[in-house]
Amino acid sequence: MNSETWARLGLSTAMTLVLGAPALAAAPSQGAGAPAQIEEVVVTAERRETKLQDTPISITALTSSMVSDAGIKRVEDFANMLPNVYIDDRNLRGQNIAIRGISADLNNPGLDQGVGIFIDGVYLGRATSGNSNLFGLERVEVLRGPQGTLYGKNTIAGAINYITRKPGDVVEAEGDISYGNYSAVTGDAMVSGPIVPGRLFASLGGSFDERAGLIKNLLTGTKLDNRNGQSGRFQLLAKPTDDLELILRADVSRDRTHSGASEVVTNGALPATVPHQPAPTTRTVAQNRDPVQDRDAGGVSAEINWATSAGTLTSLTAYRLSDWHNLADNDFTAADFLASGIKEDQTQVSQEVRFASKTGGPFDYIVGAYYFHQDLNTDSTAIAGADLGVYPSAVNADIYALLHTDSYAAFAHGEYHVNDQWSLVGGLRYTREDKKVTQSQVGDPYGLLLTTQPSRTLSRSEGAVSPTISVNYKPTADLLYYATFSQGYKSGGFNVFSIVTPYVSPASNAEYAPEHVNNYEVGFKSEFLEHRVRLDASAYYMDYRNLQANELVLVGGLPQFQTSNAAKARSEGVEVQLDVRPTREVTLSATYGYDEATFVSYKGATSTGADYTGHTLPRAPKNNASASAQWDHPLSDNLSLFTRVDVSYRSKIYFASDNALTQGALTLVNARVGLESPSGRWGVYLWGRNLGDVNYAIDKEHGVIISGQVTEALAAPRTFGVEIRARY
């Protein structure tokens, strides 16, 4: 069967199961013991533990069992399961994440992310370590919409929380290993338990992820888009008294790859003396340089939770660092025209103190303060090759920049319970941010590619208020309605690679303003039929001002990512999530997202005066949907059959604000089948991803060296393998 047949078959099968769920839900339970029910999930999305169905936020929470059942190993593995969320992972420097059509391309080091990434409550100033292997997790929480009051700056589109599993009094050990095509080998292991029963506990784990490249460079023989990563995690938890909890966490990761490969789709005005590229989608290239992406990241944090008669006082102190380096062929040909690379060395220190009152009374609240400091040292290198005909041999030019950021915030969030059904929520956060950048240039020996310029220091300060107002109505224990108004904020900054070039007006300082959004949202959360059916839905309208857009442009003949404020944008849509447990053996899920994300006003988008008003925002499909069906069937007292199919659909997306390059609609099918013990102690599974072997792009760009050239980066083809899992 071809890929279209696979896609149609998988989608129709899974959707038939899910859409028939309400009728199935009335069927009697087929298992022994308690009736079939959907798993109750507790989240910390509001900085305290609450039930998922009592949390008035558009949120998807993936528990450890959900992650395990779906075979999720990396961030991109769960992206298609979420309504109005887009994630591609071709760049170790940070995922390209869009929520409700809002994203941030971090190729400009001065640009902050639009989706905040948090690991155990610690904000990642650069999302560099947020896309390493996923293991030892308690859950993943994906919050859609601005989260400015409780999470702060740079959560204007949403937030992703990774919560690791705490060690406890029970000795636990687990390990997974998987082998697949393209010589893919992944594995992880973790052990945890008490050191002093009841008082001191620890956990230690590690993972590795290796895979041969998916694309071959015919000139060098190197297989590109490979994986070669290792990571480790340690946690020490102490309870010196029943009211005091101390947690020390540490993690580290290392990657050495040739990722970031792009195929040439259109040759453009390629000189006749240069051989043309292999045909696109053949997963072969002919380039004189191999792409390189290396990364080292890690951090430590100390969390203190002190329970008092009035509530819990929490202190979270963290230090993190990341080093990233890449080198890429900018002409994508066998000729040595131009190459470039970026090095980033980042360190950050953060401190948060908050107090969460006890719940159960007429009024509960959270108040706190936050401080964040970041140093980002970066170097952009351009290499002009001899084939340009300008220099007798290859020459380098470098732009150096050191960016300092200090951010201060104070926040308060409270809920007043009018009665057992109605409550009013209000929150306010004030953020002040100071940025300073020092930049200099070392030009090529001839001063043609880039002139040498002395260092120059610029600074900016800004303040922002992020409020939240919500009305909640809970007529029954299993039904919640909410209406929310909130504001989000993403800080302004600098185009750090074009501050002192002679091609940028000194008056502009290559500076851009902060981004703001007003979010209006209504929704409901419900469970019925004895907790066998869960249905959540929300509708939103988001009004953006000074939306920051990042474009790859030529500045003085050099390709540079430039950020500007794109005037106004709007995102409006709906999100629906359905979970059904008709029997103890069957679990069904479905999601749907509709998003209309457009530039309301974007005149003067380029130096030639282009008008992108009315264009669709990049990476914002209008329609997206997913469905999954899982069957856990006991074969005997000691053996069970596990079967799962996941299907996702996404309509057309654009890759840039000009809406010139697109990826058409696509449907993907993943599946897992295996044998396991009913207790979950062991399991053996066959798995497959992208079973229809759909060739689709996760990025497309216009060439900046060769006029008319178009390149694309392809997602992984069909992959499959076997996984062995053990638990103690």
pLDDT digits (tens, 9 = 90+) for 655-689: 989 999 999 999 999 999 999 999 889 999 999 99
Is residue 195 predicted with pLDDT exceeding 80? yes
- pLDDT of the residue at 22: 35
- pLDDT of the residue at 24: 34
41-727 — its CATH code?
A: 2.40.170.20
- pLDDT of the residue at 609: 81
Q: What percent of the chain has pLDDT over 70?
A: 91
Mean pLDDT check: name the lowest of 15-29, 146-160, 252-266. Answer: 15-29
CA separation for the pair 287, 290 (Å, rounded): 7
- pLDDT of the residue at 106: 72
- pLDDT of the residue at 94: 62
Instruction: Give burial (CB, 10 Å; 0-12/13-18/19+) of 491.
Output: buried
Is residue 61 predicted with pLDDT exceeding 90? yes
- pLDDT of the residue at 452: 86
- pLDDT of the residue at 448: 72
Mean pLDDT of 217-238: 96
DSSP element (H, E) containing 198: none
Q: Domain segments of the chain: what residues?
A: 41-727
Is residue 33 predicted with pLDDT exceeding 90? no
pTM over 0.85, yes/no: yes
Residue 352's pLDDT band, with cuts at 50, 70 and 90, is very high
CA separation for the pair 91, 96 (Å, rounded): 8
- pLDDT of the residue at 562: 75
Mean pLDDT of 337-361: 95
End-to-end C-alpha distance for the chain, whole angstroms: 41
Task: State the average pLDDT for the chain.
Answer: 89
- CA dist 22 to 411, 485, 645, Å? 42, 32, 20
Mean pLDDT of 586-597: 97
CA separation for the pair 187, 724 (Å, rounded): 9
Is residue 131 predicted with pLDDT exceeding 80? no
Residue 710, token pair as written in the block: 């178009």
Name the phi and psi angles at 387, rounded to 5. Answer: -70, -10
Mean pLDDT of 580-605: 94
Is residue 148 predicted with pLDDT exceeding 60? yes
